[in-house]
Amino acid sequence: MSLQAFALIILAGLIHACWNIAAKKAGGDARFAFFTSALMMFIWAPLGWWMGRDVVPGWGRTEWGFVVASGLLHVGYYVILLRGYRKADLTVVYPLARGSGPLLSSLVAISFLGERISALGAFGIAGVVGGVFLIAGGPALLRAAHDPAARQRVHAGIFYGVLTGVFIASYTVVDGYAVKMLLMSPILIDYMGNFVRVGVLAPTVLRDRATALRLWRLQWRFALLVAAVSPVAYVLVLYAMKEAPLSHVAPAREVSMLFAALIGGHLLGEGDRLARIAGAVLIAAGVTALALG
């Protein structure tokens, strides 16, 4: 992995952790997902028009098919993630989502896209995934065994975290293929997907406009923050995919767990500091191995 791709992933990880903390604090649902997608359309419209004015008219069925598929997968990912944040702790949902996603996408890239990985790279994947699950884990699960309410909350976090990871793996492979094989612009894939997301989520808002308006007044600041920064994080990752194998980039994204463990745990007041720090160190070792491999 080149130094430039590695730097893009580090910056993307910091941004990603920050917007997830904002989404957790918002406590939103599918309507929050609509707010952020709609705001993304407006905030990034000048860049979308400038990048796409000569390119988008030339897209055929294949390109539009990938945009629609990406948009739908991102809707599923974001709605499930938000639901998990409402029902469980960020320090359970986020690590499981970030850990299971790259593991699956790396296996697909190696098995079906013909990518190769060195022994050091394989160690890096193992380190990232092991660190993520350590953060999700052990101490909280042991305590939950004697507390039905805590056990139910942890189980919900595991379910929604892993399900979110499935969506992460799916859109990572779809978007990675579009960028690497079809040579589509990372910016345009992400921006045009907003139109799909808004169209899919609009009925949820229109069914109960009064509730949507009330939630907008409570959540618009968080939605604006997510809309402004989350596309930057993902586009940086897509650009990194153009320079490095998907099987390296996907796990290396989990450097965001370092930032989530140190920043999110403090801001949200969630426990198990030692487990989070140990997991973060293991993730850092895994990311370093991926960069060298």
pLDDT digits (tens, 9 = 90+) for 25-72: 888 899 999 999 999 999 999 999 999 999 999 999 999 999 999 999
Judge whether 135 and 280 are in contact, CB under 8 Å: yes
pLDDT band at 84 (very low <50, low <70, confident <90, very high): very high
Span 194-199, average pLDDT: 95
The structure tokens listed for 14 are: 């910091």
What DSSP character marks residue 56? G
Smallest CA-to-CA distance from 89 within 177, 27, 42 is with 27
Please tell me the predicted confidence (pLDDT) of residue 105. 65
Please tell me the predicted confidence (pLDDT) of residue 174. 92
- Which position has the higher pLDDT, 50 or 268? 50
- Separation CA 13–CA 198 (nearest Å): 25
Instruction: Give 136-162 as a DSSP string.
Output: H-HHHHHHHTT-HHHHHHHHHHHHHHH
Return the ∠ at Cα 145 (arms to 142 and 146), rounded to 5°.
Answer: 110
Return the top range by mean pLDDT from 70-74, 134-138, 159-163.
70-74
- pTM of structure: 0.79
Please tell me the predicted confidence (pLDDT) of residue 106. 67
Please tell me the predicted confidence (pLDDT) of residue 90. 79
What's phi and psi for 207, nearest 5 deg?
Answer: -65, -30
| Cβ neighbourhood burial of 289 (10 Å; 0-12, 13-18, 19+) | buried
Smallest CA-to-CA distance from 130 within 284, 233, 291, 25 is with 284
pLDDT band at 149 (very low <50, low <70, confident <90, very high): confident
pLDDT band at 144 (very low <50, low <70, confident <90, very high): low
pLDDT at 282 over 80: no
Handedness of CA 239, 243, 249, 255 (dihedral sign): negative
Q: Cα 250 to the chain's mean position, in Å? A: 10
Q: Give the position of tokens 């989502």.
A: 97
Please tell me the predicted confidence (pLDDT) of residue 272. 63
- Separation CA 197–CA 174 (nearest Å): 16
Comparing 50-59, 85-94, 115-124, 146-155, which segment has the lowest mean pLDDT? 146-155
Please tell me the predicted confidence (pLDDT) of residue 124. 78
Return the top range by mean pLDDT from 12-21, 108-117, 276-285.
12-21
Span 184-210, average pLDDT: 93
Q: Cα 158 to the chain's mean position, in Å? A: 16
Please tell me the predicted confidence (pLDDT) of residue 102. 62
Please tell me the predicted confidence (pLDDT) of residue 67. 96
> What's the chain's length in residues?
293
pLDDT at 246 over 60: yes
